[in-house]
Amino acid sequence: MPSPSSSLPRVAWIGLGIMGLPMASNLLKAGYEVTGHTLEQAGLDRLAAVGGTPAASVAAAVRGADVVVTMLPASPEVEAVAHGEHGVLAHAAPGTLFVDMSSVTPRTSVELAEAAARKGIRVLDAPVSGGEAGAVEGVLSIMAGGERADFERALPLFRALGTTVVLCGPHGAGQTVKAANQLIVAANIQACAEAVIFLEKSGVDLEAALDVLGGGLAGSAVLSRKRHNFLSRHYPPGFRIDLHHKDMGIVTDAARAVGAAVPVGALVASLVAAARAQGDGGLDHSALLRGVERLSGIERAHGAEQPAGAQQPPASGAGRARR
Ligand code: NAD
């Protein structure tokens, strides 16, 4: 049922982190009523500050909602929030549309859709690309999987969050496309990082080089959006290396399952894992540059660019995410 004060559906939003909070804020700006839940009190406070309603639990957030959106780190968190006596499936009304916008394994999306169908709840997987800036600016790419009628029901909401919105196929197809996206982005960051160190060691003016590279075939969203990080050697997340490690696990597993060779993907997955093992998991993925520095014999104070607490991998490790 739509909200009594507007014709727009009432939204429950679970997961108000780097991506979830600005996305929920954009729904509020577009006139949606948003009730949200997340683990950190600061996230609940920020939702209230932009006009949303904080909820103390998943169950309280989804009560009375027409659409439930999750924006959580990985498969284990999505499964924990969806299932069980306190989960979305136990508390959302039949007919609710459950849109998981987290990046998870395609299998998680398929299994979630099957479990939800038994309760009369509709599901879409709808992971995104565009990073924190894309979330803040409302210009994300949204790659959906599921049934067309459900996609069309979610389309007005998606239009408040992104500019490129595509139904890619059945349940899990959005996640498969997102996995391909993460392969392309990681390989692109690694190539840019290698070029930066090559240029610097060669004595070329780095800013001038990046200007001209950005205008030719080497130009990319990665090069323009991460340029400042490369130049400043400052890597506030952004998109954490921990999360990209999870995504490289998803793409290499999914590719092996269908017999697709991804040799560059496998190599970059190993470099992302090495960055994490060196304590860089909490940094933005542009910090792959630090790995190239280490391999090239460039010494920097270990952890100099780390945000507080970034040395410890989060509980949502990639091992558990790789289901
Ligand atoms: P994040 O760690 O900043 O936020 C995740 C949020 O989930 C946290 O606020 C946490 O409190 C919440 N959460 C975890 N478990 C919960 C639970 N049981 N109940 C309620 N809330 C819970 O992560 P993020 O960077 O916002 O990424 C979210 C998803 O989007 C990930 O799957 C990531 O791969 C994907 N993604 C991120 C970016 C990016 O640039 N950060 C870009 C595209 C896609």
DSSP per position, 272-314? HHHHIIIIITTSBGGGHHHHHHHHTT----TTTTPPTTTTSPP
Give the three-class secondary structure for 193.
Answer: helix
Pocket test for ligand 1, best of 16, 23, 39 (most atoms within 8 A of CB): 39
Query: Are the beta carbons of 71 and 17 closer than 8 angstroms?
Result: yes
Q: What is the pLDDT of residue 300?
A: 74
Identify the residues whose C-beta falls under 6 Å from ligand 1: 14-20, 37-40, 43, 71-74, 77, 80-81, 102-103, 128-129, 131-132, 238-239, 243
Residue to substitute in 16, 19, 91 for testing ligand 1 pocket (most ligand atoms within 8 angstroms of CB): 19
Q: Write the class of the CATH domain 176-321.
A: mainly alpha
For residue 216, what is the DSSP state? S
Q: pLDDT by residue (tens digit) across 18-75?
A: 999 999 999 999 999 999 999 999 999 999 999 999 999 999 999 999 999 999 999 9
Protein residue whose Cα sits closest to atom 31 of ligand 1: 73
Query: What CATH number was assigned to the domain covering residues 11-170?
Result: 3.40.50.720
Atom nearest to 102 CA in ligand 1: 32
Whether 11-170 shares its CATH topology with 176-321 is answered: no
User: Residue 121 C-alpha to ligand 1 middle, in angstroms?
Assistant: 23
Distance 118 CA to ligand 1 centre (A): 27
Q: How far apart are CA 84 and CA 284, in angstroms?
A: 33
**Among 26, 70, 71, 248, residue to substitute to test ligand 1 (most atoms within 8 Å of Cβ):** 71
| 282 Cα to the center of ligand 1, angstroms | 13
Q: Which atom of ligand 1 is nearest to the CA of 74?
A: 32
Ligand 1: which atom is nearest the Cα of residue 132? Answer: 40
For residue 37, report the distance from its CA to the centre of ligand 1, in Å. 12
Cis? peptide before 36, omega within 30° of 0: no
Instruction: Say which amino acid occupies 316.
Output: S
pLDDT less than 50: residues of the chain = 1, 302-323
The ligand 1 atom at the shortest distance from the C-alpha of residue 103 is: 32
**Catalytic one of 29, 178, 226, 246:** 178
All structural domains of the chain with their residue ranges: 11-170, 176-321
pLDDT of residue 5: 57
For every residue of 115-180, DSSP letters joined together read HHHTTT-EEEE--EESHHHHHHHT-EEEEEES-HHHHHHHHHHHHTTEEEEEEEESTTHHHHHHHH
The dihedral region occupied by 72, where left means phi > 0, alpha psi between -120 and 50, and beta the remainder, is beta
pLDDT of residue 4: 53
- The tally of CA atoms less than 13 A away on the side-chain side of residue 92 is 34
Distance 99 CA to ligand 1 centre (A): 14
CA distances from 303 to 1, 212, 276, 278, 283 (A): 50, 31, 12, 9, 10
Task: Output the pLDDT for position 295.
Answer: 97
Active-site residue flag, 178: yes
**Centroid of ligand 1 to alpha carbon of 115 (angstroms):** 22
* Beta partners for residue 165, in sequence order: 142
Q: What is the Cα–Cα distance from 175 to 101, expressed in whole angstroms?
A: 9
Could you tell me the pTM of the whole model?
Answer: 0.91
